[in-house]
A and B are shown apart, each in its own frame.
Chain A
Amino acid sequence: MIPSVRSLAATAVALLALPSLAVAENVKIGAAFSLTGNAAAYGAQQKAGVQLAVDEINKSGKLKGITLELVLEDDATSKEQGIAVFQRFINRDKVSAIIGPTLSTTATAADPIAQQGKTPVVAVSNTAPKGITDIGDYIWRVSLTEGQVIPSALKVAQAKIGFKNAAILYGNDDAFTKGGFDVMKASLEAAGIPIVDIQTFATKDRDFNAQLTALKAKNPDFLMVSALVEQAAAIVSQARQLGWNVPIMGGNGFNSPKLMANAGPAAEGVMVGTAWNKASTDPVNVAFIAAQKARGNDPDQFCAQAYTGMIVIADAIAQAGMKGGRDDIKAGFAKVKDLPTPLGKFSFLPSRDGSHPAAVQVVKNGKFEILQ
């Protein structure tokens, strides 16, 4: 159960004494992911990503004298649990940095604690435009926001299809899908494309026929959907089943092989802006995918982002002069420049958000392909 106070004291003293030792230093990184709850599909991939990264970094000896120790906890897709896990990481496990949590909603509640506790956080899947990095200077982000991905994805789609108007369907009771909608609406308006109809649904819904029928009646050339993958698959299936073949573009929630698994042939042709170009022939990316497959996991964007988050932390430690303290890592982040990652060459923006090239995918033959 709760470690004895004496052993806690001993650990505290030992950890305090560590920086002065020149021998192998153990740097703990806490990973808070949704292993259960609504976002569990993403959390599982993230777990695979960080585990691979930690193993590779430790084996390569890239961080001379430093061993990364991964402490993994479940945020249960819940704010309460997220807060509790962060507190344990910061005060009990005394991690040097935290990766996660999975959803933006959890992050808005838990990240302020890390900011107060002066512990750097790397957000690897929070894509809400506001309320993450603006919490404070200890919060950094690897995942591109919807605001960074969607506008360029829209441009590519427009060039390919040339649609005259559009409609939007989104989940209005989830912070992530609602945030995605806001970006979609703004992007369409900025591109001068009239929006003929907007419909909403609740995360618990399974039946979208009514909304889809209403949208279909307005005859848009293009449908943008902001949904988590569970609803995404159902929406796409039901739309096709209603005999509606409108081109569909999804937000970040669509970025999961579960889309094709659950929607089957109905997913063909669906477009998704992505932070991860899986088909990129960049050697770092190819090696990452191979290593994941060797472990029995077919990686998705969340896996790639989590992996990248961890190697960014490792790079920050190196940039700080092989020092693994909290402020060392924070200072190191600012020095990360064009780091080779599966996501492409990565740097942080002055706003502490991530920056790397984005891409557009289309589902072809049951797999995501890059739309050129």
Chain B
Amino acid sequence: MTSSALQDLWLTYQSTVAFIGLNGLLALSVYTTLSCGQLSLAQAAFMAIGAYASAILTFHSGLPFVVNLAVATLLPALVSVPLGLPVLRLKGVFLAIATIGFGEVVRIFFVNLDYTNGALGLTAVPQRTSLWMIYAALGAALFVLWRIRGSRAGYALEAIREDEPAARTMGIDAARYKLAMLALGAAFAGLAGALEAHYTYMVSPSTYSFTRVVDMLVYAVVGGTSVFYGPVVGAAFLTALPEVLREISARVGLAPGPLRLFVNGAVLLVVILFLPEGISSLPRRIRDRLRARREAHAA
């Protein structure tokens, strides 16, 4: 086992590892609003805002990267507030649709913005993101969510998720919590956008489409939204899957594109129908099944 072979393996799959981290962060950004029962699909737009803002700063100011990232995190969060105030009143699917509309408007805005070359976007963005930064950001996001879980805010969020009217009668300011989670999700998405832009050398509006945010939702759902780390599991699984499929399709002889699409859809369908709490609940379910069997035998 030579170190150069390991090094080659690493270099080959380095981008996959990077994207697992980025997609994990994006999945968490969708999860934040899901955790209080709201489905927001505007995260691609927040990602775009973070990406463009940080890229513009890179080109036009000499500020250190950390400052760029901070702006990319805060700006979308700020933008999410005037969005959230009118829109979070809406129920379920209407909220989702409103956020889809917002997302499309933002994307079209960037497509038409000459300052950033419209559809061409910004190219030759210097690569300032390294792998540890992505995972540091992911770790920070997980940490924040972990702390929220066990706190009073966490219980409030769960109450809102379970039954919002009841939570409100108990005195929980649902509107404030929902807005806070929307802003938090926007922050995560903006940060991921900035990191990605400085990793793939470019920012272009087509990256931040409805399809992208649906992908993020799929990561979160497939991973499982009952635990805070679930979405990351989903992102890891679904980001690594095309690489695995590439190997398989080469051997089986099926066209790689449709196969990948098909498997994505099939995995999602199977999870939503049979494993509603996502892949992350699999270990627990297996453990429960084994324990039940053991008890049945013992009895």
Residues of chain A at the chain B interface (Cβ within 8 Å): 1-2, 5-6, 8-9, 12-13, 35-37, 40, 73-74, 76, 79-81, 83-84, 87-88, 90-92, 94, 105, 108-109, 112, 117, 128, 130-131, 134-135, 171-175, 177-179, 202
Q: Is the CB of B200 within 8 A of A178?
A: no
Which one, B15, B205, B206, contacts A87 given CB within 8 A? B15
In the complex formed, the residue of A with least CB distance to B2 is A9
Q: Is the CB of B6 within 8 A of A5?
A: yes
> Shortest 7 CB-CB distances between A and B: which pairs?
A36-B257, A91-B11, A9-B5, A92-B12, A91-B12, A131-B123, A178-B119
- Residues in B96-137 with C-beta less than 8 Å from chain A: 108, 111-112, 118-121, 123-124, 127
Residues of B contacting A90 in the complex (Cβ-Cβ under 8 angstroms): 11-12
Q: Is the CB of B5 within 8 A of A8?
A: yes
In the complex formed, the residue of B with least CB distance to A7 is B5
Contact string, B11-35, partner A, CB cutoff 8 A, digits 1/0? Answer: 1111110010000000000000000
Q: Is the CB of B244 within 8 A of A105?
A: no
A1 vs B118: C-alpha distance when bound (angstroms): 41
> Interface centre among A9, A128, A179, by most B CB within 10 Å?
A9
Q: Is the CB of B119 within 8 A of A173?
A: yes
Using known A-B contacts A12-B2, A74-B257, A112-B127, determine if residue A174 contacts B242 with beta carbons closer than 8 Å: no
- Whole-angstrom distance between the Cβ of B214 and the nearest chain A Cβ: 15
Residues of A contacting B1 in the complex (Cβ-Cβ under 8 angstroms): 5-6, 9
Using known A-B contacts A83-B15, A84-B15, A92-B9, determine if residue A109 contacts B257 with beta carbons closer than 8 Å: no
A–B complex contacts, Cβ < 8 Å, 27 sampled: A2-B247, A5-B6, A8-B8, A8-B9, A9-B4, A13-B2, A35-B255, A35-B256, A36-B255, A36-B256, A74-B255, A79-B202, A80-B19, A80-B200, A81-B242, A87-B15, A92-B12, A105-B206, A108-B201, A112-B124, A128-B120, A172-B112, A174-B206, A175-B119, A177-B119, A178-B119, A178-B120
Main secondary structure of the interface of B (DSSP, over half): helix
A328 vs B260: C-alpha distance when bound (angstroms): 37
In the complex formed, the residue of A with least CB distance to B8 is A91
Using known A-B contacts A5-B9, A12-B4, determine if residue A74 contacts B205 with beta carbons closer than 8 Å: no
Residues of B contacting A8 in the complex (Cβ-Cβ under 8 angstroms): 5, 8-9
Q: Is the CB of A112 within 8 A of B5?
A: no
Q: Is the CB of A36 within 8 A of B258?
A: yes
B: interface residue count bin: 35 or more
- Whole-angstrom distance between the Cβ of B236 and the nearest chain A Cβ: 15
Determine if B288 is an interface residue (Cβ-Cβ < 8 Å). Answer: no
17 extra A-B contacts, CB within 8 A, seeds A9-B2, A177-B119 = A5-B5, A8-B9, A9-B1, A36-B256, A36-B257, A36-B258, A40-B257, A76-B260, A83-B15, A84-B16, A87-B12, A90-B11, A91-B11, A109-B200, A172-B111, A172-B112, A173-B119
In the complex formed, the residue of B with least CB distance to A135 is B124
Using known A-B contacts A12-B2, A135-B124, determine if residue A87 contacts B14 with beta carbons closer than 8 Å: yes
In the complex formed, the residue of B with least CB distance to A182 is B120
Residues of A contacting B124 in the complex (Cβ-Cβ under 8 angstroms): 108, 112, 131, 134-135
- Residues in B193-208 with C-beta less than 8 Å from chain A: 200-202, 204-207
Q: Is the CB of A173 within 8 A of B2?
A: no
A202 vs B118: C-alpha distance when bound (angstroms): 12
Using known A-B contacts A92-B9, A109-B202, determine if residue A175 contacts B120 with beta carbons closer than 8 Å: yes
Q: Is the CB of B111 within 8 A of A87?
A: no
Using known A-B contacts A74-B256, A173-B119, determine if residue A1 contacts B244 with beta carbons closer than 8 Å: yes
In the complex formed, the residue of B with least CB distance to A200 is B112
Residues of A contacting B162 in the complex (Cβ-Cβ under 8 angstroms): none
Contact string, B231-257, partner A, CB cutoff 8 A, digits 1/0? Answer: 000000000001110111000000111
Using known A-B contacts A6-B1, A84-B15, determine if residue A109 contacts B201 with beta carbons closer than 8 Å: yes
Using known A-B contacts A12-B2, A79-B200, A172-B118, determine if residue A88 contacts B123 with beta carbons closer than 8 Å: no
Residues of A contacting B255 in the complex (Cβ-Cβ under 8 angstroms): 35-36, 74
Residues of B contacting A172 in the complex (Cβ-Cβ under 8 angstroms): 111-112, 118-119
Q: Is the CB of A83 within 8 A of B244?
A: no
A243 vs B194: C-alpha distance when bound (angstroms): 49
A91 vs B123: C-alpha distance when bound (angstroms): 24
A12 vs B258: C-alpha distance when bound (angstroms): 33
Using known A-B contacts A91-B8, A91-B11, A172-B111, determine if residue A112 contacts B16 with beta carbons closer than 8 Å: no
